[in-house]
Structure formats: structure tokens, C-alpha cells
Amino acid sequence: MYVDLGSALDATPGVSRDSLERLDDQVATAHDRIEAGRNDHDHGYAALNLPARVDLDAIRSAVAPFADAEAVLTVGIGGSGLGAATLANALAGPDDPDAYVLDNVDPEHVARLLDSLPLARTAVNVVSKSGTTVETLSNFLVVREAMADAGVDWTDRTLVTTGESGNLRQLADAHDLPLLSVPDGVPGRFSVLSSVGLAVAAIQGHDLDAICAGAADTADGLSGSLFETPAYAYGAATYALAARGATTNVMMPYAERLETFAEWFAQLWAESLGKDGLGQTPARALGATDQHSQLQLYRAGPREKVVTLLRPTHRPDRPIPETDLDGLSYLGGSTLGDLIDAEFGATEASLAASGVPAIRVEIDGVDERSLGALLYGMEAACVLYGELAGVSTFTQPAVEWGKRAARGLLGGGDVPAAEAVEDRASLRIDP
């Protein structure tokens, strides 16, 4: 992962080279804390040790029964769904099993998806670290029933990834299902480089060693200076920009295959850093498509944004056919790759012309090694940002409140949070 901060220097809000140099002392201190946390295997920091620790053979053996799968359905939400979806959508090839993620309980969507799947040839990958998340468990009960209705033995088609205790672990033990563990000390949104994210990649036949090697390279390159460590450059610059008013971070990949990465990034950034009145709101965009919708706002709207422009520097290409149409002759000899690169450069320049800060992030290609580097790099960036901001990066108390309230409303115990839902104020305007 390569990071270029040039377009954030003379912007509003912006960071100067001098201010980054001053910030580098704090980066060194934060790096020491991160390394101490990694050495002690502390909660959260342990996620940054995954590339060296993850047991790829255990993942390969757990997915071996699903070698015949035509589709793989992950049932999981948040960190238990987005990592698998990011890898699947980035890496999927034409002959791979199709990957789907059920991370919502919209009944119509669930029914349509189940109707469209070849259930007898579908691997069901149920993932929940806590083993208690109501959306995941409810969806799994529905999937299991659909399989039974279709005459499929669900116990032959189900893989479970969960923590050391909870309903899912009990279910896996009771039915002797293939089982993978969420490693200790790894919050869901930092778990993509474990069985949580890698099982689907394994079923699809992707190169797990290369994903982990890309991540390990990035891990080995972490140092106490943002000027030597691209991940820290990104974390430190976004932190400094947020402190100067860039409270929104637009993640804008110029590659369809990375669209889901922006969703994964949004959870990582929002849930980790949104604490104590601080944080930076992640927004998701896609280049070049959103140049024709959201770019107007990014250039000319409120000055509270930094735009992260992400692209692969190599990708399969396709020539634009010659045409004799007047006005299109300038395209002669160009490719779609030339065009999307020109659009990337034009957006960066257009933001700079308006003084809106942008950060350029590049990876070599949308391949296993580069993705491992990108995912790990963004996790390290997030942890560094959290250290600089002094927030509790690895907790999510505000999300837990909502989970308790929903459970209470469904009769799952005497939950004070549920009463707050009943007590909501209303100012309803009827037609």
C-alpha cells in the first residue's frame, strides 16, 4: 500500500509538512504502545499479529467438505460478514463458487436469496464471534429450515466460525459441524485476516498464503515514523485533518472490485474511532461513477471532508474501439484503463483546485497479496489514529446498547434500553 499526502498539504482543512513532522513524535510514542500491546497480546492489538498467527491449515481442513460448492452463503453481520464479502467481491473469478452474504433481516431479501440458491450445492458459513447476534442467529434458523424443506441435510452443508462459548458453539458441538474459532483478542471488525474472513476465500480457492504474506510485509514494515510507514502516514494524516475540521472521510476506490472494501473500511473507521464526541464519519463512494453524482458536494459543499482516492496501479484492460463519430476521435488508441486513470487524476486535481484535501492510496493490483497489504494497512492506520486521538479503539458500547434494546423488544429479557424505545417522542405528520 502506497500513500501520497501531497494533495492534503495546501488544502482547507489541510496539514503542512511541518505539522506532520511535529506529529511524528506522537506517532513514535503511539507505535511503541501498539508494539507493547502486540507483544502482550492485548485485546485488539492482537489483531495486528494475525498474519503470523493464523492457522491456514485449520481453515483449509474445515472447508474441505465443501469442495463441491457452487455457492457459498455467509450468514454474519458487521465484522462477521464484511471481511468475507470484501475478499470475495475483490477476488472472485468466473469459475469460483458464487459468494453471498446474508447480513440483513429484510424478510423479502432473505426469501428471494434463498429461492435463488442451489441449496444442495451451497456451503453455509455461519459466523458470529459472540454467538448471540440476533440477526445472524435468526437468519441461520431460516436458512436451516429452507434447507430442510428442500430435502437437504443442513448439517452436511454448514460451517461454523464462532468464539469459545455461546449458542453457535453449542450448536456446532451438538451436530459435530466443521468448526473454526475466532481468535482471542480480535474484535470483529479487525478479524478479516482470520478464519472469519478467510474461510470463504478458501472455499473459492484463493491463495490464503499470499493474502497473509501481503499483510505480513505491511506488519514487518511498521516503524515509529509516519514518513517511513504508509499505514501510519494514512492514520496520522486523517487524524490531523479531522482535528482541523475534516470530520468526514470519503473512501472512493476506482475499481468495482473494491466497492465492498469501502463498506468494510466504513465499519472499521466508524466503530473504532467514533467515541467521546470524536471520530471521522466514513462516507462511501465509487470512482468514476460518483464523479457524476457526489463530486459536486465534495468539491463545493461544506469544508469538512478529506477524500481518499484508492486505485490499483495494474489491472486487466480493454481497448476502447475506434470510432468515426465526430468529437470522439481523441479516444482513439485509448483503453478503459487509461480512461479510469485519467478520471482518477482529474478528480484529484479538481479537488486540489478547490482546496479540498485528498489522500492518494495505491495498491499494485486487486490480487491476494495487495489486498492483504491494504486490509492490514488500514487496520494499522486505524489503530494509530485511535492512539493519537486517545479513544478506546477496540470497544463499541454504543452498538451494544442497540443490540440490547432490540433483544428486549422481542421479549429477550427485562432490558432498560428497550423501555427507551417505547418512550420515544413522536411528532407525526399524517397526510
Min dist. Cβ of residue 137 to ligand G6P (A) = 8
**Given candidates 1, 77, 340, 373, which one binds ligand G6P under the rule CB under 6 A?**
77
109 catalytic per annotation = no
Interface with ligand G6P, residue 369, by CB under 6 A: no
Q: Which is nearer to ligand G6P, 79 or 235 (CB)?
A: 79
Q: Which is nearer to ligand G6P, 274 or 365 (CB)?
A: 274
Using CB under 6 A, which residues numbered 8 to 47 contact ligand G6P? none
**Angle, helix 134-149 to helix 107-116, in steps of 10 degrees:** 40
Measured CA to CA, the distance from residue 319 to residue 421 in angstroms comes to 56
Using CB under 6 A, which residues numbered 153 to 172 contact ligand G6P? none
Backbone angles phi, psi at 74, to 5 degrees: -90, 130
Q: Which strands, in side-by-side order, build the sheet including 98-102?
A: 98-102, 71-75, 122-128, 158-162, 179-181
- Applying CB under 6 A, which part among 20-28, 74-82, 112-120, 328-336 lies near ligand G6P? 74-82
C-alpha angle 180-185-188 in degrees, rounded to nearest 5: 65
Instruction: Take residue 361 and report the three cell numbers written for it.
Output: 492510496
**Given candidates 396, 405, 408, 415, which one binds ligand G6P under the rule CB under 6 A?**
396
Bond from prior residue into 13 cis (ω within 30 degrees of 0): yes
**Which amino acid makes up residue 1?**
M
**Given candidates 13, 14, 44, 79, which one binds ligand G6P under the rule CB under 6 A?**
79
C-alpha angle 341-206-152 in degrees, rounded to nearest 5: 125
Interface with ligand G6P, residue 80, by CB under 6 A: yes
Judged by CB under 6 A, how many residues of this single chain contact ligand G6P? Answer: 14
Interface with ligand G6P, residue 188, by CB under 6 A: yes
Min dist. Cβ of residue 267 to ligand G6P (A) = 7
**Residue 371, CA distances (Å) to 74, 109, 307, 309 in order:** 20, 29, 20, 16
Min dist. Cβ of residue 276 to ligand G6P (A) = 17
DSSP 8-state code for residue 182: P
Write the binding mask 101 to 140 for ligand G6P: x where contact by CB under 6 A, - elsewhere. ---------------------------xxx--x--x----
Q: Which is nearer to ligand G6P, 11 or 383 (CB)?
A: 383
305 catalytic per annotation = no
Q: Which is nearer to ligand G6P, 7 or 80 (CB)?
A: 80
Q: Which is nearer to ligand G6P, 44 or 97 (CB)?
A: 44
**Angle, helix 368-389 to helix 259-273, in steps of 10 degrees:** 20
Write the binding mask 247 to 276 for ligand G6P: x where contact by CB under 6 A, - elsewhere. ------------------------x-----
Instruction: Take residue 220 and report the three cell numbers written for it.
Output: 514487518
Choose, from 31, 129, 263, 271, the residue flagged as catalytic.
271
Q: Which is nearer to ligand G6P, 218 or 396 (CB)?
A: 396
Burial of 387 (0-12, 13-18, 19+ CB in 10 A): buried
* Residue-wise burial string across 84-113, b where 16 or more C-beta atoms lie within 10 A, e elsewhere: bbbbbbbbbeeebbbbbbbbeeeeeebeeb
271 catalytic per annotation = yes
**Ramachandran quadrant class, 357 (left: phi over 0; alpha: psi -120 to 50; beta: rest):** beta
Min dist. Cβ of residue 50 to ligand G6P (A) = 16
Q: Which is nearer to ligand G6P, 60 or 169 (CB)?
A: 169
Sign of CA dihedral 380, 382, 385, 390: negative
- Applying CB under 6 A, which part among 78-86, 146-154, 318-326, 330-338 lies near ligand G6P? 78-86
Min dist. Cβ of residue 350 to ligand G6P (A) = 36
What positions carry a catalytic annotation?
A: 271, 292, 403
By the criterion CB under 6 A, which residues form the site for ligand G6P?
77-80, 128-130, 133, 136, 188-189, 271, 396, 399
